[in-house]
A and B are shown apart, each in its own frame.
Chain A
Amino acid sequence: MATVLLLEPDKSLAQSYKGALQRAGHTVHWQNDAQVALGVIDEQTPDVIVLEFHLPNHNGVEFLYEIRSYPDCDHIPVLLHTMIPVEHPGLGHEFWPQLGIQEYLYKPQTTLAQLVDRVAKLTTPQLV
C-alpha cells in the first residue's frame, strides 16, 4: 500500500477523500497549504501526490516546480484532481509532462471509487 500526499484546500472534501483512500489501505497525509506540504515531503517522501490546482498562498503549479527541484522528489507521480475543467487554458497543459502530472481528474465528475482506482494504478509498479 502507498503513502499518499493529499493537497486539498477544502476540509470536508479532504475527509471524504482521505477516508476512501485509507479504506483502500493507503496512508494519507492531508495538507491544505502547499508551503506546509513541502515540510511533510521533507519528512517522508510520498509515493503519489493528489493535488488540487487551487491552493491558498501558492497554486499547484508553483508547488510542483518547487518539489521537482528536489533530487529525491523528481519521480513522484502527480494526480491532478481539480475543480478546473480540463479545457481551461489556465491549467497550463503544456507543462504537465515536465511537472510529472500523469493523470487528470475533474473533481465534480470523479467518484471516490475512481480516485482510489487511479491512485492504485499510479502506485502499482508496471510490468515492462
Chain B
Amino acid sequence: MSELRPSRTSSVVSDRLLQALAEELKLPLLQIARQAELSEQKGIELSAIQALWFVDSYILSQQLLQQPHLALEPVAVSAVLQDVAHALDGLAKQYGCSLELHLSGRYAPVMAHRQGLQTALLGLASTLLTAAQNEEAPRLVLAAHRSRGGVVAGIFSQTEGLSQAVYRRGRELYGRARQPMQEFTASSGAGVFVAESLFDSMETSLRVAKHQHLTGLAATLQQSRQLSLI
C-alpha cells in the first residue's frame, strides 16, 4: 500500500505549481490585451486586463506572505485610492457603473506596502464591480475616513447580500466551493480573498463595513507615527 504524502508537502508543491501557472498566464493575457488594444476592441482589452490584475495580485500576495517581515512604509491612502479609481475607470464604464471617490480632507500617511495596498483595493473593487453588474444603476465608492485606530480604506456598493456572516462563511468555503459568497456574488470572489491575504501581510484585516448607506469591505491602516510628529 502506498504511503500517503504529508499534506504540508502537497500544499507547498501545489502553491508552487499555482505560482508558476500564474506567472505563465501573464504572457497570453498580455498578448490578448495588447492585440485587442491595437485592433481597438476595448471590451476584450479590459477583460484581459482584469484577468491580469487577478493573476498579478495573486502572485504579489504569495510573495508578500512569504516574506518573514514585510517592510511597511508611509503611504498616502488618498493617492492610492485615486490610482485605483484611475485604473478602474475603463472597466467601470464597460459595466455601466459609476465610480466615486469619497475622501474627507487630508489623511496622515499610513504604514502599508504601497503596491500591496493598491493591488488589494483593486482586487476588492473588481469583485464588487462584477457583483454589482446586474443592478439598475451600479455604483462603486472608493472611500477613506479617519478612525481611532488610523485610516479606514475600503470599497463600497449598493449590492445586497454582503454581511460579516456571509464573508466569514466565504472564508471557510473559498477554494472548496465555486461560489463561497453566493448571497453576494456569483463569482468565486477571488479578489476579496487575495485582498484579505494582502491585508494580512500588512498586519491588518479586512472586514465588512458601512459607508453612508453602502456596504463594502474595508481595512484599518495604522497611521505612520513618525511622520505624524513632523
List the B side residues contacting A17 at CB < 8 Å.
34
For chain A, residues 66 to 113, give those with C-beta under 8 angstroms from any C-beta of chain B.
Answer: 83, 85, 87, 107-109, 111-113
Q: Is the CB of A20 within 8 A of B38?
A: yes
Q: Is the CB of A16 within 8 A of B34?
A: yes
How far apart are B68's CB and chain A's nearest CB, in angstroms?
15
Q: Is the CB of A16 within 8 A of B35?
A: yes
Given contacts A16-B38, A87-B115, contact A108 B56 (CB under 8 A): yes
Chain A count of residues within 8 A CB distance of the other chain: 16
How far apart are A86's CB and chain B's nearest CB, in angstroms?
8
Q: Is the CB of B30 within 8 A of A85?
A: no
For chain B, residues 36 to 55, give those with C-beta under 8 angstroms from any C-beta of chain A.
Answer: 37-38, 52
Q: Is the CB of B37 within 8 A of A13?
A: no
Q: Is the CB of A85 within 8 A of B38?
A: no
Q: Is the CB of B31 within 8 A of A12?
A: yes
How far apart are B218's CB and chain A's nearest CB, in angstroms?
24
Q: Is the CB of A13 within 8 A of B115?
A: no
Most buried by B among A13, A108, A113: A108
Residues of A contacting B: mostly = helix
**Chain B residue with Cβ nearest A18:** B38
List the B side residues contacting A107 at CB < 8 Å.
30
How far apart are A83's CB and chain B's nearest CB, in angstroms?
6
Given contacts A85-B115, A87-B115, contact A112 B38 (CB under 8 A): yes
A interface footprint on B100-132 (CB within 8 Å = 1, 0 otherwise): 000000000000000100000000000000000
Question: How many inter-chain contacts with C-beta < 8 Å in the A-B complex?
Answer: 37
Q: Does B145 contact A (CB under 8 A)?
A: no
List the A side residues contacting B38 at CB < 8 Å.
16, 19-20, 112
Q: Is the CB of B26 within 8 A of A13?
A: no
Q: Is the CB of A10 within 8 A of B34?
A: no
List the B side residues contacting A108 at CB < 8 Å.
26, 29-30, 52, 56
How far apart are A17's CB and chain B's nearest CB, in angstroms?
7
Q: Is the CB of A111 within 8 A of B37?
A: yes
Most buried by A among B34, B35, B52, B60: B34
A interface footprint on B14-43 (CB within 8 Å = 1, 0 otherwise): 000000000000110111001101100000
How long is the Cα–Cα vector from A113 to B87 in the complex, in angstroms? 14
Given contacts A108-B26, A111-B37, A112-B38, contact A16 B115 (CB under 8 A): no
> With A16-B34, A17-B34 given, can you name 10 additional A-B contacts, CB distance below 8 Å?
A10-B31, A13-B27, A13-B34, A16-B31, A16-B37, A16-B38, A87-B115, A109-B56, A112-B37, A113-B37
Residue contacts A-B, CB under 8 angstroms, 30 given: A12-B31, A12-B35, A13-B27, A13-B30, A13-B31, A16-B31, A16-B34, A16-B35, A16-B37, A17-B34, A19-B38, A20-B37, A20-B38, A83-B27, A85-B60, A85-B115, A87-B115, A107-B30, A108-B26, A108-B29, A108-B30, A108-B56, A109-B52, A109-B56, A109-B87, A111-B37, A112-B34, A112-B37, A112-B38, A113-B37
